[in-house]
Amino acid sequence: MITRVDSVRPMTVEQNTLASDQMPRHVAIIMDGNGRWAQQRGKPRVWGHKNGVESVRRAVSFCRQKGIASLTLFAFSSENWRRPEGEVSTLMELFILVLNNEVKKLNRNDVRLKVVGDTSRFSDKLQAKIQKAEELTKNNTALVLNIAANYGGRWDIAQAARKAAQDSIDNNECVDNISEAAIDKHMCLADQPPLDLLIRTGGDFRISNFLIWQAAYAELYFTDVLWPDFDETAFTEAVGAFVERERRFGFTGEQIKNQTVTSPCPIIEQE
């Protein structure tokens, strides 16, 4: 089910009416529209990325307030290396700046930072900062903030499939027995609740090789709001749309309504 909303549409669900048992546990966001936001203001594209950091802060704060367990942000895709060199290096500098300026605050707020993706292509300096930030925040429990950096959904599936195959070899098992669950347990976000809600800002209707495995049963939400304008109202609107959806996981609406289904997640059921 796909919902598109205009940024001007009035909120359907007021913030304070969202009950905690209706809230998504895991939200992911494709933070699109930074370049256009800057260009609309006669500024270079990287200005939009810099302003996008404020939206990241707001989104983290929203998730903390609402008790959302995991927030996964698409900061840099495995395809984003194709961008002009200046934009890529500004984004790398911005990641370092964010790690320098924000990690202590995240730690004080009980937020665990996790970077998902192939970080081996980043500079030694950035890799060291990532490692330090993850180490500092590893015991925090209020929210996991996953930053997807040099991340691609196909890369994630391939690395998980390799590990599942290796498990199979190590245990002298036949590869025919490799199940969805055997792959799922090696996916980057396997330690966290299943993805409930995938939001894309910026008006496009694509997943862009983001969490393609994890999005199998996620609710998709697309908004025209450009990422630097994505505020608490826009996030509330997205969550409001989510709570109004009926998630069926292959069952009928009647089965769900009559609560004859206890564990609707297909992967958990498999093993």
Q: Is 32 a catalytic residue?
A: yes
Residues within the interface to ligand FPP (CB under 6 A): 31-36, 45, 49, 52-53, 56, 73, 75, 80, 94-95, 98, 147, 202, 227
Is 172 catalytic? The answer is: no
Give me the least distance between CB of 95 and ligand FPP, in Å please. 5
| Nearest residue (CB) to ligand FPP, 60 versus 267 | 60
Q: Which tokens hold the place of 206?
A: 């694509």
Residue 269, both tokens: 């059921």
- Smallest separation, CB 243 to ligand FPP (Å): 26
Nearest CA to 15 out of 59, 70, 66 is that of 66
CA 204 to the chain's CA centroid:
17
CA–CA gap between residue 263 and residue 200 (Å, rounded): 28
- The one catalytic residue among 16, 21, 51, 80: 80
- Closest CB to ligand FPP among 74 and 213? 74
Least gap, CB of 152 to ligand FPP (angstroms): 13
- For 132-163, letters b (16+ CB in 10 Å) and e give ebeeebeebeebbbbbbbbbbbebbbeebeee
Shortest spacing between CB 38 and ligand FPP, in angstroms: 8
Place of tokens 């292509």: 121
Find, among 114, 262, 103, 268, the residue nearest to 193 by Cα.
268
Q: Which is nearer to ligand FPP, 7 or 80 (CB)?
A: 80
**Residue (32 or 219) nearer to ligand FPP, CB:** 32
Residues marked as catalytic: 32, 80
